[in-house]
Every structure is written in C-alpha cells, then in structure tokens.
Amino acid sequence: MDRSRSDEEKRMLETAARTLPGGVLGSSWFPDDLAFVVRRGAGSKLYDVSGREYIDYLMGSGPLILGHAHPAVVAAVREALEHGTTYFLVNEPIVNLADELCRAVRCAEQVRFTSTGTEATFFALRVARAYRKRDKIMKFEGGYHGGHDYALMSAAPRSPKAFPAATPDSAGIPHVLEGEVLIAPYNDLATVEALLAVYADELAAVIVEPFQRLIPPQRGFLEGLRTLTRRHGIPLIFDEVVTGFRFAYGGAQEYYGVVPDLAAYGKIIGGGFPLAAVCGRREIMRAFDPRLEGTPEFVAQVGTLSGNPIAAVAGLATLAELRKPGAYAQLQRIGRALRDGLAEIVRKSGLEAQVIGETAVFDVVFTDRPITDYRAMLTADGARLKAFNAECLRRGVVKGVSKIYVTLAHGDDDVARTLTAFAEAVDVVSRSAPAARA
C-alpha cells in the first residue's frame, strides 16, 4: 500500500512524539516508517489521517467484537447521551447490564463494576484476600492480569526463576510483593498440586487466564485446578477480560465447562467504552456492601466512572447482537478460515513456526516447540514476529503484538485479502537472514 504521509499526519506524529512517552499510548510495535495516526474506524476497517485504509485485527485490543462504529451500538449510545453522561448512582442501564451478566456468567451471583480490566482483577484479588483472610496469591507464569503490582509479577519474565519465586516485570513494584505472589507453570497440574500441598494455607486465591494469552488449556487442566482449589478451600478466579463473551456467550466458563468462584470481565461488556466488572459468589461479593463499612469484612471499592450508563448502554447493545442466532457460528467460521489459512501458509513456508490459539483469538509463533506454557513461548523468535507484523502493516493489515482478534465485522473478502498479505509477509520473513531471538 502507499506509505506516503500527508503533512497533517506528519505534524500529528511529531506532536505525539513530543507529548506522549515514546509517542505511543502504552505499546509500540510499529517501526517509525510505519507509524500512523487513526482518524476513524468503520466495520472491519481503520482509516488514518492520510486517508489510508487498513483491515483491523487489533480492534481496540479486543472490545470491538462487532467491529468499529456498529450501527446498533452507535444508535443506543446516541440516544442515551440525551439523558446525561454519568451519575455516580445506580442507574437503569447498569442495573440491566448487571442482570444480564448474572444470567450469562455461571459464577455470577453478584456484580461489582469498575472502569478497566486492571481494576477488575485488582479488586477480585482484594475481595478474595478479605474472604480468605490471607495475603498471598498464586498466579501462572506468563499470565497477564493488567497493570497493578500483583498482576505484573512474572507476567513476562525474560529470565524466569525457579517456581514458585516471582519476578517483577516493571520498575516501581514494591520488593515486598515478591514474597506475596507464588508462580506456577500453566498447564502443569502436577506442579500446581505440589505447590498447593505446601502453600495452600497461606493462599487467598489462585488467579488464571483460562486461555492464557494464546495458549489453550490442556485437557483436564482447568478441571483439575478447580478440584484442587475447592479441596483446599481457596477461591479460584478466572480472568475473563479477553475470553468473556468472545469464546461463547457465557465466556470461557461455558466454553471449557469449568466454573470459578470469581471472574473478572472487561473489553466486550463495555462495547468499546471503559467498563469492566468483578462477578462472583454472593458470599464473597458481599464484602463490597457499603453497609459493612467500619467492620473487618468491608472491602473498599469506588470509582467515579464505575457503572457509567453510556458504557453500560454500549455493552447492552453489543450483547444483544451477540445473542442473535448464528452470531457465534459466524465468528467461528471466519476465525477458522483465517486461522487455518495462516497455518497452511506457515506450513508451506518451511519456517519453524506454528499457529496457536482458538478461532476467535490466535497468532503465529515462530518456534517448532510445542507450546503449552510460558517457557515454551520463550523459545519463539521474537524478531521474526516483529518482522511479520511489520510486513502485514505494510500491506494494510493491523494486528496486535501477539494477537489476532476476529470480529463479526470481518467478512470473506477481508479473509481473502488478509491471507494474501499473510502469505507475502511470511515469504519476506522466510527469505530474510536468520534473526536473533528477542
């Protein structure tokens, strides 16, 4: 595609470089010559300030399962805006959304809203600590649960320690937390069982992405984790910020058939607006009740925009579309065509690479080692993935650093064009000199 930039976009990129750290909003994976500024989105496409069109598989990092500016969401939000933007009080849209979450999510007897997925996992852990009256938590190496201090322990360690020792992934995390977070290997039930045999009495909760980044759970892993945590009386938390309403209407709990005690939701439930939630059993969730304030059981949680009515309206409109007959079958059909097409391209290339994930979320990983946990992911050639992402962008396909999100807005024409771009990108990568692992 034409990579020439308009003067307006050049000025905006210069302003971003001056006013934003790194010139980005948090993650940067585009080479400077490929950077662009988004002007608008429509359906499966993005358009930049220079007028170029992109097929979008980033989709706002996942919330836009209907695509950009879906008419039903736009209409619902436009109507709701006439009645005000926020109240900081119980409101009709948020009550309706809470009711829908409790119907859809198997573990949800009550719901507490937040504004971000990071907050949702943060407060899920806090309420579990209050319930169990313990401080330590167990998480899985490579599992991402947002940007708070507990979550950024061993989320992406370059030099992992021996289990269960944790490694902070960010500057500014108090060193004392290294002793409060135990790390286990994903998909390794035997090691989890051994660690629980030693540490169960000290643990407040076990938190897990049921589908960890791109890695599906092996047969029996989630079921075994549920059995072990129940045996020890430890709350099990599913981080469903990504999987919620994506793998199935009931999320990973429905898709994999395992029900936790608490779950964190985000992304899709806000329909593209900031909204997330903690869902769970009533006996645990009761700690958020303000009538307990002043007692040892009370968990403080408040947010100016938590429970925002506009976000709730967008979420309700999104969920209504997902409830329509055939919605998930269509999502899986498009995802399967794209995922299997990419897998065939990779297979024919002869590269040491594979495509992993589910039909709604997947990506290519440049290693031939079976991927069952984070340490296997460390064998992947990160430089080749960056090159692949850049070559896709040169051809008008936007994807995340390591995720491809499929939506109901993507159609057969998008799949055909994308697979052509993927084939050309893989060809460039396969012809390049062997890259250093990164």
Residues 6 or more apart whose CB falls under 8 angstroms from that of 405 comprise 57, 58, 59, 61, 62, 65, 360, 361
Q: Which of 131, 144, 150, 328 is catalytic?
A: 144
Give dist(CA 193, CA 224) in Å, integer: 9
Question: Is the torsion defined by CA of 382, 245, 60, 144 positive or negative?
Answer: negative
Q: Which of 48, 56, 188, 239 is catalytic?
A: 239
267 an active-site residue? yes
144 an active-site residue? yes
Q: Which of 2, 9, 10, 15 is CA-nearest to residue 48?
A: 9
What are residue 423's phi and psi, to 5 degrees? -65, -45
Question: Is the torsion defined by CA of 352, 422, 42, 328 positive or negative?
Answer: negative
Q: Which of 45, 139, 267, 403 is catalytic?
A: 267
DSSP assignments along 102-152, one per residue: HHH-TT-SEEEEESSHHHHHHHHHHHHHHHHT--EEEEETT----SSTTTT
Residues 6 or more apart whose CB falls under 8 angstroms from that of 421 comprise 55, 391, 392, 395, 396, 397
- DSSP-assigned letter for residue 265: E
Contact 187/373 with Cβ under 8 angstroms?
yes
Give dist(CA 275, CA 316) in Å, integer: 12
Consecutive H or E run containing 197: helix 189-199
Give dist(CA 103, CA 95) in Å, integer: 12
Look up residue 424 and give its two tokens: 């050309």
What are residue 278's phi and psi, to 5 degrees? -105, 125
Catalytic residues: 144, 239, 267
